[in-house]
Chains A and B, each alone.
Chain A
Amino acid sequence: MKSKIIIQDWGLINYADGLERQKKCVQNVIEGAQDHLILCEHPPVLTLGRMTNPDSLLYQRKEIEDRGVMVTNVDRGGDVTLHAPGQLVVYPIFNLNKRGRDLKVYMEMLEEVAVDLLKNFGILAISISGKRGVFVGKDKIISIGVGVRKWVTYHGLGINVNTDLSLFNLIKPCGLDVRMTSMQKLKGHPVPMQDVKSKVIELFQK
């Protein structure tokens, strides 16, 4: 997977604006630009895929919005996901035409990066066959959701660094009855976001 990657840190960015920028980036990579690795955080938002089960939202939409969490429909498959500050969102925009056109290999690479990242912070995590994401015991710590267009990847990892986990009580994440955890919860203290970003960049450049 060795190749030059353009790193961009978008900081805290509204989900919809981030999605627009991400789409432009995907188009650029399709047209021959170098692979990009985008890091960002989103203000609290629930994104609803087209396969969202109405039961996945545990409160009325208005009630959720009144709590300061935006709810937005997105044109993708899949169920509901949550982003919020403290969750490091990583969007690798990689051209798999140059990396073997194999979704399985790509997903395994993402899971390996996720597990290695956590190992560097003293957290033992695993990926589970047939399940998206990375887990510590039975709790999910990193969500993985990948889209591919013309063999260029988008979306990616949602790493719960210092996420307010109470926000997950609004939903059944990904439509599953799964409990979420964070690096902060497991370590017992907030984890510096910049340290996590630096390690993510290092692992993707390996």
Chain B
Amino acid sequence: MTKIILPELGEGITKATIACWHAKVGDSLQEGQEVCEAVTDKASFIIEAPAPGKLRSISVAEGQEGLVGGVLGTIE
């Protein structure tokens, strides 16, 4: 199982809102495929699948905030 992590985005940025998921649980993903979009108050950041597999879970739903370094979902 591989975790999809909200990466470091910049100094002082500790969290971001998940604006949208481009995949739903059960979808097959290729490594590097866009899975979701995180937005800070100023910019949007595309997050990609860190590994190939099926999207197994979404821990931070659309509209919810995730913490930098935190898990957004998992791939198996």
Separation in Å of the B54 CB from the closest CB of chain A?
A: 22
Contact with B along A107-120 (1 / 0, CB 8 A): 10000000000000
Binding site for A on B (CB under 8 A): 8-13, 17, 19-20, 22, 34, 37, 39-46, 48, 63
Task: Enumerate chain A residues within 8 angstroms of B48, measured Cβ to Cβ.
Answer: 150
Contact A149 B19 (CB under 8 A): no
CB pairs A–B below 8 angstroms (14 shown): A51-B20, A76-B37, A77-B17, A101-B10, A103-B9, A103-B43, A103-B45, A104-B12, A104-B42, A106-B43, A145-B44, A148-B44, A148-B45, A149-B34
Contact B41 A146 (CB under 8 A): no
Separation in Å of the A41 CB from the closest CB of chain B?
A: 23
Separation in Å of the A89 CB from the closest CB of chain B?
A: 17
Task: Enumerate chain A residues within 8 angstroms of B20, measured Cβ to Cβ.
Answer: 50-51, 76-77
In the complex, A103 Cα to B9 Cα: how many Å? 6
Q: Does A78 contact B (CB under 8 A)?
A: yes
Contact A77 B44 (CB under 8 A): yes
Task: Enumerate chain B residues within 8 angstroms of A131, measured Cβ to Cβ.
Answer: 41
Chain A, interface size category, equals 20 to 34
Which residue of chain A is the closest to B21 with respect to CB atoms? Answer: A50
In the complex, A101 Cα to B10 Cα: how many Å? 7
Separation in Å of the B32 CB from the closest CB of chain A?
A: 8
A77 and B42 in contact (CB under 8 A), knowing A50-B19, A51-B20, A102-B11? no
Contact A144 B42 (CB under 8 A): yes
Q: Does A147 contact B (CB under 8 A)?
A: yes
